[in-house]
Chains A and B, each alone.
Chain A
Amino acid sequence: MNIRASLSRKKLIGLTAVLIAGSMTLAEIPANAADPGVSATEIVLGMQLPETGSASPGYNKVDDAMRAYFDYVNSKGGIGGKKIRLEVKDDTYKAGLTISTASSLINKEKVFAFIGSIGTQTHIAVIKDINRRKIPDVFVNSGFSDFYKPSVYPTSFAALGTYVTEAKILGKYLKEKYPDKKIGVLYQSDDFGRNSLEGFAKAGLTFEAKKTSADFIAGTQGSPGLASQMTQLKANGVEIVIIAAVSSATAVALLTASAIGYKPEKWAVISVGADATTFQTIAGSRGVPAASSAALLTGLITASHAPAPGDTSDEYVAAFKKINDDFNKGADKRFDNNVMQGMNIGYMATGALMGTLNAKSTFSAKNNKTCQANAKKATLTRVCFIDYLNTNGSKVESAAFTPLQYSTTTHEAFSGFWIGAYDAATVLQPISGTRVVYSTDSGNGPVTVSNYKRPAIAADALPKN
């Protein structure tokens, strides 16, 4: 049968059109238009944090460090020719302002994504709306595990290990190290504190209410203070005190204990409340000399998912410290945990953006063709950015000692922590001389030693995603 002869001219034209259209479909998947906050030359990211107010000390350095890293990236040409601009809003740790500043970042600044937002109590006020709008909410600085369930908040991704994970690891260590000691806890009675207690309980560490367990309402550590809590723990003979609270509460607790003559054998503090320079800044504002506050810190145990900022032998610390020296325009650029965290978020975000714009990246089966086509045209979309994190989270480079755990089933960040104690120079040193990284999950999985080998940082300190 002669096919050509059997088709009318009209049908032939139609068939040709279909074939042409089909070949286009196969060869050229149309790319999407860019989302808000993205142009040919720029990517706009937004951040909320307490720049001022009682909760600001220490945390108000994270944005400066992050911006310094982005400025460094921009000095190297940016990402795919696009410079990163970080818009920062001060919510003073008041959730009402977090709501209005988020609105401003979305509607006025037109950010592509939220990044590095700080504060559980504040972020909980906006996370639902950010997710409803399908805006990426990446590297959130809260360890509250409920934030990182993709089934509830599909666009939110953590920058910290969860409080449950950290408490499990720290609790197991303390329980095994001090089996005969009376261990107590001071915690803030909110999501942060409750999450931490859950982790301790999973490690088999439980406390007796009003005896070995003292709580306070977050925000009251300054006034009326923590005297009754410290007196309670002292009266009940608590020998090892764990603190699951923000930095300002840690400072008040240690200073109050000192004032009432309470000297527990050990202090152990969840990492977000254990930054040395933050502690010393707050103590200094209360008239405590640096030498005295350093003495109070000495021996204090805490955990960390990344190298200690004082560990100058670490290649990431060395690289970030140089960038901090060269690019940080903040008022206080001392290289501490907060600066380290800001730098690492900048580094991870850069890697994730580079990966999203890399045409060789593999995305989910659903979005792979479109996202690769977008990458070819240097088109950045929110869907592909989130897809990249879900699909390639473990490949996003980081200074941490365990990889990001991101997937379609969890948006928790790091599963691993090492445990250290502050030395007299307020540098966190591995508790047993050699750094051992323990890993676990937020569920009932065991705590094990991690064998993960962190990739080396490149000579130019840029990720290679």
Chain B
Amino acid sequence: MKTISMRKLIAAIGAAALLSTAAVAIAPSAYAAAPTCSTASDGIETCKGTLSNGAGYLIKVPAKYNGTFFYWNHGIRFTYPLPGVITVPKGVEELTPTSASTGLNIDTEMLRAGYGLATFDRVSPGGIRGWNTVDGVEMLKELIDTVKAKYTVEKGVVYGSSLAGSILTPFIEKYPTYADAVGHMADLTPSPSQSLQSLCDYFYILSVFADPTIKGCAAFGVKGLAGHYAAAAEFGKVVALLTAWGGNLGAPGLEYPAALKGSGIPQRSALLLAGLLIGLPTKSAHMDGITTSVVIAEQSINATVAILENSGEALATGTFAGQAVSEITGPGFYDNTKTNWFSLLDPADSGRYNLGLSGDGAIDAMLGVLSMAPRVTGDAAAVAKFKALDQSKFTSTKPVVLLANEADRLVFSGNSALYVDRARAIYDAKLATYEAARDSAATSAERAAATKLKPVWNVVSLYAMTPETYTKYTAAGLPDFTAPASPSGVGHQSFTKKQMMAWVKILAHAAKTGKVGTPVFLQQYIKTAPYLNSDLDYRPADLKYNW
């Protein structure tokens, strides 16, 4: 997903009504346009063209091309604009992984390393973007075909960020000969529905505790520009709420629902609970979830401010991503009639953040109120489509290298863990088949046949971590949001150049050898990138949903 600036969004909400209703539209063409190529003085050849549906593509090849091509797949882009906030792409925006927070890319480094680079602007006919993942699979194939028609490709790597995860895995499963390795960066995979369900929960919880007029995901589903602005207007309520909490740090007591009015439970406890129930990171760009000051008196208060800092952009992007999903599923994809709020609170979190949550009594009271609040009943057909958004089966044997931030506020790092779990389940089943065949083999021919069944574990998950502590405070003890953000581990699709290049080099090696590499081999690259976790057995918090 592409992140959205909270500050810009707040400013734009009021301007949304002034928008014209015109949407950007691209007329599809019947055939891919022939690329137009030119070579610069540095020897880099640049080719531009359009795929058969009219979407633009971009290719760059260095003079010392080494035979390996990287095909980049960007995250979500939106069909409709929001002035000052969402700009609809007019063509290719990113050629290689690009940090969303700093804008740094690794075009130069990858070309210098000899890789060929290619990407495309994922836009479907009619200018439709968002969740056009099915089209994305075919567009990626066409891009690779186009590259191969002009260049000799010895090894190919398909890699992408965020929503691209819902393209890459189905792609390699459908077209296994089209790439030799797969790279997932901050990817929303195995399924976007699990993450979006949590973001929809967030809207719902805020509606119960803070603003009953918030409808959140239940309000999504009107197609087209009207639906886009309806979602924006819905989000405006959350903006107002978060702005108020940003000013008073959630100090007032809960006003909603009536059962909790006068209970003395501060709104910040409800905010913290909401964040923990959806799995929002308790570290943010400026808050480390640990350090304290005269104002931030306890670690759980630091974590609460982290959740506040993370909330704006998570909900902003979630709003428009959710609306984009509803364009496919229809209204009513969100249903929480069977949600057990008590089970969503990890015992470790209720213990660790007990003070910020105002103790066990307040936790029980808030969860009790949530359990009794009227639920959102979705549309069965829309819910089914929602859960089936990603068709990944994890049957590919190509090497897969995942890269995620420890505290990604939008696509939680638990996505990577779930990816590994799904791949591991397939691997374990293959292993059991192999072992059964091996154990029952009576002849050398049968033993040889069994050996061929032996699977290879070919997935590795890398994580960029934060420093242990990094919050800066003003002289008054308030968090200093003007201070530099954490150098690593926070934000969505935000990595350092060294982290991105380490990932790329591991992918290139995997493409050549067919294997992700041994731990010793991987550590050689990991140590070149500060804050990249050398603990290959690290596992982040699980997502709240797993279906």
Binding site for B on A (CB under 8 A): 94-97, 100, 103, 106-107, 120-122, 124-125, 127-129, 132-133, 146, 189-191, 193-194, 215-220, 223
Contact partner, A218, options B297, B354, B468, Cβ 8 Å: B354
Whether B359 lies near A190 (C-beta < 8 A) is yes
A95-B352, A128-B348 known; A103-B288 Cβ under 8 A: no
Chain A residues with Cβ below 8 Å from B303 are: 96
Contact partner, B351, options A96, A124, A133, Cβ 8 Å: A124
Q: List 8 A-B contacts (CB under 8 A).
A: A96-B289, A96-B303, A100-B468, A103-B535, A107-B535, A125-B352, A189-B361, A223-B297
B269 to chain A, nearest CB (A): 10
**Residues of chain B from 286 to 314 with CB closer than 8 A to chain A in the complex:** 288-290, 297-299, 303
CB-nearest residue of chain B to A146: B347
B349 to chain A, nearest CB (A): 9
Chain B residues with Cβ below 8 Å from A220 are: 355
Chain A residues with Cβ below 8 Å from B360 are: 189-190, 193-194
Chain B residues with Cβ below 8 Å from A100 are: 468
Whether A215 lies near B535 (C-beta < 8 A) is no
Chain B residues with Cβ below 8 Å from A107 are: 534-535
Whether A121 lies near B354 (C-beta < 8 A) is yes
Whether A125 lies near B354 (C-beta < 8 A) is no
CB-nearest residue of chain A to B346: A128
CB-nearest residue of chain B to A100: B468
A189-B361, A215-B361 known; A133-B537 Cβ under 8 A: yes
**Residues of chain B from 353 to 410 with CB closer than 8 A to chain A in the complex:** 354-355, 358-361
Contact partner, B358, options A120, A132, A217, Cβ 8 Å: A217
Chain B residues with Cβ below 8 Å from A133 are: 537
Whether B298 lies near A97 (C-beta < 8 A) is no
Quick one: which of B289, B297, B355 has the most chain A CB within 10 A? B355
Measured between alpha carbons, how far is A100 from B355 in the docked complex, in Å?
21
Chain B residues with Cβ below 8 Å from A96 are: 282, 288-290, 299, 303, 352
A134 to chain B, nearest CB (A): 10
Chain A residues with Cβ below 8 Å from B297 are: 223
Whether A124 lies near B299 (C-beta < 8 A) is no
A95-B299, A190-B354 known; A106-B535 Cβ under 8 A: yes
Measured between alpha carbons, how far is A119 from B359 in the docked complex, in Å?
17
Quick one: which of B303, B355, B359 has the most chain A CB within 10 A? B359
Quick one: which of A106, A146, A217 has the most chain B CB within 10 A? A217
Binding site secondary structure of chain B? loop
Chain A residues with Cβ below 8 Å from B290 are: 94, 96-97
Whether A217 lies near B354 (C-beta < 8 A) is yes
Measured between alpha carbons, how far is A223 from B535 in the docked complex, in Å?
39
Binding site for A on B (CB under 8 A): 282, 288-290, 297-299, 303, 347-348, 351-352, 354-355, 358-361, 468, 534-535, 537-539
Apart from A106-B535, A124-B352, A125-B351, list 16 A-B contacts with CB within 8 A.
A94-B299, A95-B299, A95-B351, A96-B289, A97-B290, A107-B535, A121-B352, A127-B348, A128-B348, A133-B537, A189-B361, A215-B361, A217-B355, A218-B355, A219-B355, A223-B297
Chain A residues with Cβ below 8 Å from B289 are: 96
Chain A residues with Cβ below 8 Å from B538 are: 103
Q: What are the nearest 3 A-B pairs in CB distance?
A: A96-B290, A189-B359, A95-B352
Chain B residues with Cβ below 8 Å from A128 are: 348
Chain A residues with Cβ below 8 Å from B534 are: 107
Whether B359 lies near A191 (C-beta < 8 A) is no
CB-nearest residue of chain A to B299: A94
Contact partner, A217, options B299, B359, B468, B539, Cβ 8 Å: B359
Whether B352 lies near A215 (C-beta < 8 A) is no
B475 to chain A, nearest CB (A): 21
A249 to chain B, nearest CB (A): 13
Contact partner, B354, options A103, A146, A189, A223, Cβ 8 Å: A189
Measured between alpha carbons, how far is A223 from B355 in the docked complex, in Å?
12
Chain B residues with Cβ below 8 Å from A146 are: 347
Chain B residues with Cβ below 8 Å from A120 are: 351
B141 to chain A, nearest CB (A): 39
Quick one: which of A96, A107, A218 has the most chain B CB within 10 A? A96
Chain B residues with Cβ below 8 Å from A106 are: 535
CB-nearest residue of chain B to A94: B299
Measured between alpha carbons, how far is A95 from B352 in the docked complex, in Å?
6
Whether A97 lies near B361 (C-beta < 8 A) is no
Measured between alpha carbons, how far is A355 from B348 in the docked complex, in Å?
33
Whether A215 lies near B299 (C-beta < 8 A) is no
Whether B468 lies near A97 (C-beta < 8 A) is yes
Measured between alpha carbons, how far is A128 from B346 in the docked complex, in Å?
11
Measured between alpha carbons, how far is A424 from B358 in the docked complex, in Å?
38
Quick one: which of B290, B303, B348, B351 has the most chain A CB within 10 A? B351
Chain B residues with Cβ below 8 Å from A127 are: 348
Chain A residues with Cβ below 8 Å from B352 are: 95-96, 121-122, 124-125
Chain B residues with Cβ below 8 Å from A97 are: 290, 468
CB-nearest residue of chain B to A121: B351
Quick one: which of A94, A191, A218, A223 has the most chain B CB within 10 A? A94
CB-nearest residue of chain B to A97: B290
Measured between alpha carbons, how far is A106 from B539 in the docked complex, in Å?
13
Chain B residues with Cβ below 8 Å from A193 are: 360
Whether B348 lies near A219 (C-beta < 8 A) is no
B91 to chain A, nearest CB (A): 44
B368 to chain A, nearest CB (A): 15
Measured between alpha carbons, how far is A132 from B534 in the docked complex, in Å?
18
Whether A190 lies near B468 (C-beta < 8 A) is no
Whether B535 lies near A190 (C-beta < 8 A) is no
Measured between alpha carbons, how far is A94 from B353 in the docked complex, in Å?
10
CB-nearest residue of chain B to A91: B290
Chain B residues with Cβ below 8 Å from A122 are: 352
Chain A residues with Cβ below 8 Å from B298 are: 219
A133 to chain B, nearest CB (A): 6
